[in-house]
Structure 1
Amino acid sequence: MTNPEEPKEARVVGLNPVDFVLALVVASLATALVLLDRLVLPAFAKMYGEFGSGAALPLVTRAVLGHVTPIGGAAGAIALAVAGMFVRKSGRGGMAVGLFLGGIALAIGAVGLSMYGLYAPMFDLAGKVKP
């Protein structure tokens, strides 16, 4: 840290400790999405493959099984966090926190959408059951 009386151009702008905590949350959620994609999706893909080729899966399920939602959500969240770090380095703290929080929101949304997408065909089947 430098003397506050120095001109703004001479100050060293570092990362705030809050940034590291927010980056850790983003990294944890992105890791959860990648693990979901690599460990959980194959079991669901196999199960839905047994439905037969004539089974029409919902669009959200096809997006999750096509790796768009989990991997895209993880990549987008990481990109927002990295952008937040660069913005913090340039001295705009409020915008940096906003980018980190956007990354967290994107990752949480991707987790929720992935979970819904995996179970959407089952919800659809349950709605068609007649007593």
Structure 2
Amino acid sequence: MTTPAEPQEARVVGLNPVDFVLALVVASLATALVLLDRLVLPAFAKMYDEFGSNAVLPLVTRAVLAHVTPLGGAAGAIGLAVAGMFVRKRGGGRLAVGLLCGGITLALGAVGLSFYGLYAPVFDLAGKVQP
């Protein structure tokens, strides 16, 4: 432990346990996005193929089915988390937590956008049902 009289360089900069918890949340959400992409998307893609070739899917649905939203969200979130860990190792505490929280926010947004994209054509069909 250093005293205020010691130079700043003598302080050892390490990773904070909060960083590991935030990184674990990011990793969990990124894993959920990859599992969504690998396990759930094929069933939705098959269902939408049965709509026919003249069916126009919303842009968000096409982005999800093209693996852009889930895999891009997972990669971006992991990238922000890794950047946060490097920043913390260099001594930037607030920026590190901000990057890690940004990774969580990005991953949550990708999960929400992926689910919305998968169900957007179903919502569109439900609005066209006549009694």
Common fold: TM-score over 0.5: yes
TM-score (normalizing by structure 2): 0.96
Which residue of structure 1 aligns with residue 23 of structure 2? 23
Aligned residue pairs total 130
Name stretches of at least 5 consecutive residues in structure 1 with no aligned partner.
none
1: CA distance, partners of 2:7 / 2:78: 33
Which residue of structure 1 aligns with residue 2 of structure 2? 3
Which residue of structure 2 aligns with residue 45 of structure 1? 45
Which residue of structure 1 aligns with residue 86 of structure 2? 86
Q: CA RMSD in A?
A: 0.9
Q: Which contiguous aligned blocks of 4+ residues in structure 1 show a shift greater than 2 angstroms?
A: 2-6
Which residue of structure 1 aligns with residue 98 of structure 2? 98
CA contact (8 A) 2:69 2:114 kept: yes
2: CA distance, partners of 1:59 / 1:16: 41
2: CA distance, partners of 1:73 / 1:91: 27
2:14 is aligned with 1:14: yes
Q: What is the deviation of 1:92? A: 1.1
Name stretches of at least 5 consecutive residues in structure 2 with no aligned partner.
none
2:55 is aligned with 1:62: no
Q: Deviations over 1:23-74 (max 9, x none)?
A: 0000000000000000000000000001111000000000000000000000
